[in-house]
Amino acid sequence: MKYFAGIDIGSTAIKIALIDEEKKILASRVTPTGSHFRKNAITALETTLSEINISMDDLSYMISTGYGRKLMKESDESVSEITANAIGAIEAGRQHGDIKTIINIGGQDTKAIQIDDMGTVTNFAMNDKCAAGTGKFLDVTAMNLEIELEELGDYHFNIKGAPLPINSTCVVFAESEIIGLLADGHNKEEIVAGIHYSIAKRTVRLAKRVGLEGNVYFDGGPAMNKGLVAAMEDELGKELVIPEHPQITTALGAAVLALEAYYDEMEEE
């Protein structure tokens, strides 16, 4: 049996996917990036490998992606997270078919990617320097409201009034806006829903820049937040395809590329 690994070293989390030659996911892992991310990445990889009782030497090919991709010298090569995300979405969304647009919200950036039926990236857009509307935005919101990140979805659906309009697009200013709203006596549910709609609006605007064709696939950590998903679907006017493990799509894409690179090399030899 051959093993292929994709490792996605993001700004917030390290994601790992291990697959076999049938592209079946054998093991996966999500762990915080931390400050010693190379060390953390290697530890996470070793732990994942040990789950299926193999070691680094058993890997036929490994590709790294994400912000830390270049520093992972253990990898055979690196690829940008946009390409990896596209390939991963085609693989994970296969049963839904016809995925033409991918929206990814990560820890510090938001991407919209347009692909053709072979998974080739034809166009993409990314948020500029600022982290507005990214996973960080949700972190800050949960922290200010003193609730757990996982609870955001529940708060969203328990709303009694209407979502509050959140006007700030900057994470730092949104923080003071949230505090102001709390001080005015608004409840947390309305604020949470307001934040979700604010992120959804920004994200959909970005996605419109690349075009919204076919099925729209939504991944990244925030795709696990059902409240945000509902707000996005509302803004888009259509249903989103949410994969089973939204955080590891890009790592899976890197693993699939590793498999392809391995067989390409075999063919050449």
Partner 1 sequence: MANHKDEIKHPFNLTHQASEATRMLRSITDDFPDNPEAMNYFYDLYKKVYCEGVSLHENKKIVGTMCVQVPEELIYASGAVPVRLCNGFYTDDHNGADFMPAKSCSLVKATLGMLDSKSTLPFINRLDDIVLPATCDQKRKAGSMIADMGYSVYDMEVPPVKESEEARIYWRRSIRKFAGELKQITGKKLSKSSLKEAMAKISRAQKAYRKLYELRKQKNSVILGKDVFMVTNAYFFDEIESWTEAVNRLNVELEKRVEEKYSAAQRRAPRLLFTGSPAIFPNLKIPMLIEESGGVIVGDETCSSNRMLYDMVSSDEWHLNAMVDGIADNYLKPCTCPIFTKNDDRKRKLLHMAKEFAAEGVVYQSFSGCQVYSMEQASITKALNDEDIPVLFIESDYSPDDMGQLSTRIEAFIESLKAKRRRNRK
Instruction: Write out the residues near partner 1 by the rule CB under 8 A.
Output: 67, 79-83, 109, 116, 118, 120-124, 126, 128-129
Q: Shortest gap between Cβ of 248 and partner 1 (angstroms)?
A: 18
Q: Shortest gap between Cβ of 67 and partner 1 (angstroms)?
A: 6
Distance CA(127)–CA(90), nearest Å, equals: 23
Residue 55 identity: S
b/e burial code for range 250-265 (CB count within 10 A of at least 16 → b):
bbbbbbbbbbebbeee
Q: Shortest gap between Cβ of 9 and partner 1 (angstroms)?
A: 12
Closest to partner 1 by CB, 66 vs 93, is: 66
Give the number of other Cβ atoms within 10 Å of residue 266's Cβ. Answer: 9
Torsion angles phi and psi, residue 217, rounded to 5:
-100, 130
Q: Shortest gap between Cβ of 28 and partner 1 (angstroms)?
A: 22
Residues 6+ apart with CB under 8 A from 27: 16, 17, 18, 48, 49, 51, 52
Closest to partner 1 by CB, 83 vs 141, is: 83
Distance CA(45)–CA(6), nearest Å, equals: 10
Q: Shortest gap between Cβ of 177 and partner 1 (angstroms)?
A: 21
Closest to partner 1 by CB, 3 vs 67, is: 67
Which H or E element spans position 198? helix 188-210
Q: Shortest gap between Cβ of 12 and partner 1 (angstroms)?
A: 14
Distance CA(177)–CA(130), nearest Å, equals: 17
Closest to partner 1 by CB, 128 vs 148, is: 128
Closest to partner 1 by CB, 28 vs 83, is: 83
Residue 206 identity: L
Q: Shortest gap between Cβ of 109 and partner 1 (angstroms)?
A: 7
Closest to partner 1 by CB, 80 vs 187, is: 80
Closest to partner 1 by CB, 9 vs 145, is: 9
Name the burial class of residue 211, with classes exposed (0-12), middle (13-18) and buried (19+) by CB atoms within 10 angstroms of its CB: middle
Give the number of other Cβ atoms within 10 Å of residue 162's Cβ. Answer: 10
